[in-house]
């Protein structure tokens, strides 16, 4: 079912962040990635005259919070969008020894800057990793960061997309094979959640149950977990140990406000 959205007084939108906002593992027709931010932009542009709504996506995979603040936040002052989505800090939280209290302080300083240039700022909480191998051990750290994010939103009048509470994102169908990035349908659920956080009414429900899928035995699940660790987890850990990023030599896919 297509979404029916009332038109907000928002004529331009810039998305800031890392691979989550760049849209990894949600293939677009042109061979790039779409993702929840692109999907949200299409929802916001629906029903408008062609070319009236403008959109920029500055997000780059692998970026840490300080990189996003240095590279992407200043661009908001330049392009002056009506809406900014700012989802950052997740890669920092995943790093050993990182302090969610300190990350949150830097995040809020960036939010203050963004509020000076954009009329509306939307942030999101982090995912609940309770059922994710390895990452489930970081659940308390992510929860601490989320508490800070909600307080930051209250102090700075930001909208919040609460990913932690969206239980449908804990289902395997929400995630791609690497279990680190969303599937296309997972990105759609997040876009719907973000739209509702902005006050839009959507015909589709981000919390709707998933279609039934074939069950797996415990042995099959163990084999899948081992395969996933070999194919995705170990290479990811290796890049971290070598100080490499999947975003090295990658540029923003849509660096300027362009008509949709």
Query: Does some domain include residue 257?
Result: no
Is 93 a domain residue?
yes
- Containing domain of residue 155, as a range? 12-206
CA distance 221 to 225: 6
Cα angle 14-58-93, degrees, rounded to a multiple of 5: 105
Any domain includes 259:
no
Residues 234-240, mean pLDDT to the nearest whole number:
68
Residue 8: CB atoms within 10 Å = 14
194 within domain boundaries: yes
pLDDT in tens, 53-77: 999 999 999 999 999 999 999 999 9
Residue 220 domain flag: no
Q: Is residue 233 part of a domain?
A: no
**C-alpha triplet 147, 69, 254: angle, nearest 5°:** 110
Q: Distance (Å, rounded) from C-alpha 126 to C-alpha 87?
A: 9
**Secondary structure tally for the chain: helices H, strands E:** 10, 6
- Nearest alpha-carbon partner for 40 in 70, 20, 62, 67: 20
Average pLDDT, integer, range 149-153: 98
> What CATH number should be reported for the domain holding residue 47?
3.40.50.1110
Model pLDDT, residue 31: 86
**109-127, pLDDT tens digit by residue?**
999 999 999 999 999 999 9
- Compute φ and ψ for 27, nearest 5 degrees: -60, 135
Task: Pick 218 or 85 by higher pLDDT.
Answer: 85
More confident residue, 218 or 220: 218
**What does the pLDDT look like over 79-89, one tens digit per residue?**
999 999 999 99
Among 24, 47, 46, CA closest to 36: 24
- pLDDT one-digit tens code per residue, 157-201: 999 999 999 999 999 899 988 878 999 999 999 999 999 999 999
Q: Which helix (H) or strand (E) holds 149?
A: helix 139-156
Query: Could you tell me if 25 and 181 are in contact, meaning their C-beta atoms sit under 8 angstroms apart?
Result: yes
* CA atoms of 216 and 219, how far apart (whole Å): 8
* 10-40 tens-digit pLDDT: 999 999 999 999 999 999 988 889 999 999 9
* Residue whose C-alpha is closest to residue 168's, from 195, 129, 208, 130: 208
* Cβ contact 73:113 at 8 Å: yes
166, with CB counted inside 10 A (0-12, 13-18, 19+), is buried
H/E element holding 255?
Answer: strand 254-259
Q: Is residue 225 part of a domain?
A: no
Overall number of domains in the chain: 1
Within a domain: 213 = no
With contact defined as beta carbons under 8 Å apart, do 165 and 157 qualify?
Answer: no
Round to whole Å and give the CA distance between 25 and 67.
22
- pTM, two decimals, is 0.89
């Amino acid at each position: 079912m297509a979404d029916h959205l009332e038109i907000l007084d928002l004529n331009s939108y810039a998305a800031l962040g890392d691979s989550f906002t760049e849209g990894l593992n949600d293939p677009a027709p042109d061979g790039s990635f779409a993702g929840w931010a692109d999907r949200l932009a299409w929802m916001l542009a629906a029903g408008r005259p062609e070319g009236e709504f403008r959109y920029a996506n500055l997000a780059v995979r692998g970026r840490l919070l300080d990189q996003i603040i240095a590279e992407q936040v200043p661009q908001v002052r330049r392009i002056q969008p009506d809406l900014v989505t700012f989802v950052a800090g997740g890669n920092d939280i995943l790093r050993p020894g990182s302090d969610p209290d300190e990350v949150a302080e830097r995040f809020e300083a960036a939010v203050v800057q963004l509020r000076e240039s954009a009329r509306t700022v939307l942030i999101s909480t982090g995912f609940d990793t309770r059922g994710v191998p390895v990452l489930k051990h970081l659940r308390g750290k992510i929860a601490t960061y989320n508490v800070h994010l909600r307080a930051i939103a209250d102090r700075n009048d930001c909208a919040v997309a609460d990913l932690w509470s969206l239980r449908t994102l804990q289902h395997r169908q929400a995630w791609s094979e690497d279990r680190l990035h969303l599937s296309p349908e997972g990105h759609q659920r997040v876009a719907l959640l973000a739209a509702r956080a902005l006050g839009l009414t959507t015909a589709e429900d981000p919390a709707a149950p998933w279609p039934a899928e074939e069950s797996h035995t415990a042995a099959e699940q163990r084999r899948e977990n081992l395969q996933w660790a070999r194919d995705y987890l170990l290479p990811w850990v290796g890049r971290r140990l070598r100080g490499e990023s999947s975003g090295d030599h990658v540029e923003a896919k849509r660096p300027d406000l362009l008509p949709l």
